[in-house]
Amino acid sequence: MAQTFYNDLILETDGNVYSPREDSFLLANNLQVKKGEKVLEIGTGSGLIAILCARKGAEVVATDLNEHAIKCAKKNAEGNKVKVDFREGDLLAPLKNGEKFDLIIFNPPYLPRETKYSDRPIDLSYNSSETLEKFLEQYRDFLKENGRAVIVNSTLSGVQAEGEIIAEKKLAFEKIFVIQLS
Ligand SMILES: C[S@@+](CC[C@H](N)C(=O)[O-])C[C@H]1O[C@@H](n2cnc3c(N)ncnc32)[C@H](O)[C@@H]1O
């Protein structure tokens, strides 16, 4: 069990779930969410971003393909006393017919798949830049008119995502970006 702190939030994760780090914090520090907005977070992991959005008064749905992440994020939301509708499943598949959002957020597993791929749940957090490509093809159908989508991307992902760079950070082997998609 690991604990991560973000301001006054405490997030607990185990070895099956992505513990928040630089990319998560860059996104968290640059969240622009208004009270009453309908927000969707894809790939919630520990739940950090979904919890922050709920704290700002948004109505939040959060998904993850990793069942361990959904359990963990539920616990973290309860521990931090916020309400989030967590749903397990692939990208936008857990959404109901006609559900639309003001804001969709995704910090994807952007590192290209390693040759030695394993089936561990935690590898969903690291491997498969094609997940981001699939998201980019699908997300518009779930945005309200004038809705917006924000993602994290990295120079390592090999995926081109057009939009406005809201924040960026240079790390040891990559540069990461928070991008509002156009
Ligand atoms: C880089 S982690 C980000 C976790 C968290 N949002 C954060 O910022 O700390 C990527 C997350 O996406 C999830 N994920 C990977 N593929 C997915 C898919 N096809 N659909 C939904 N979630 C997925 C992983 O399980 C993981 O929790």
pLDDT of residue 169: 98
CATH superfamily of 2-181: Vaccinia Virus protein VP39 (3.40.50.150)
- Residue 163: beta bridge partners? 181
For residue 93, the ligand 1 atom closest to its alpha carbon is: 20
CA of 57 to the centre of ligand 1 (A): 23
Helix (H, G, I), strand (E, B) or coil at 76: helix
pLDDT of residue 113: 66
Rounded CA-CA distance 144/38 in Å is 9
For residue 27, the ligand 1 atom closest to its alpha carbon is: 8
Q: Is there an atom of ligand 1 within 6 Å of 58 CB?
A: no
CA of 8 to the centre of ligand 1 (A): 23
- Residue 106: beta bridge partners? 42, 151
List per-residue pLDDT tens for the chain, 182 residues long: 899 999 999 999 999 999 999 999 999 999 999 999 999 999 999 999 999 999 999 999 999 999 999 999 999 999 999 999 999 999 999 999 899 999 999 999 987 766 555 678 887 877 778 899 999 999 999 999 999 999 999 999 989 999 999 999 999 999 999 999 98
For residue 121, the ligand 1 atom closest to its alpha carbon is: 25
Locate the domains of the chain by residue range.
2-181
- With CA atoms as reference, report the closest residue to 76 among 57, 107, 50: 50
What residue type is assigned to position 173 of the chain?
F
CA of 143 to the centre of ligand 1 (A): 20
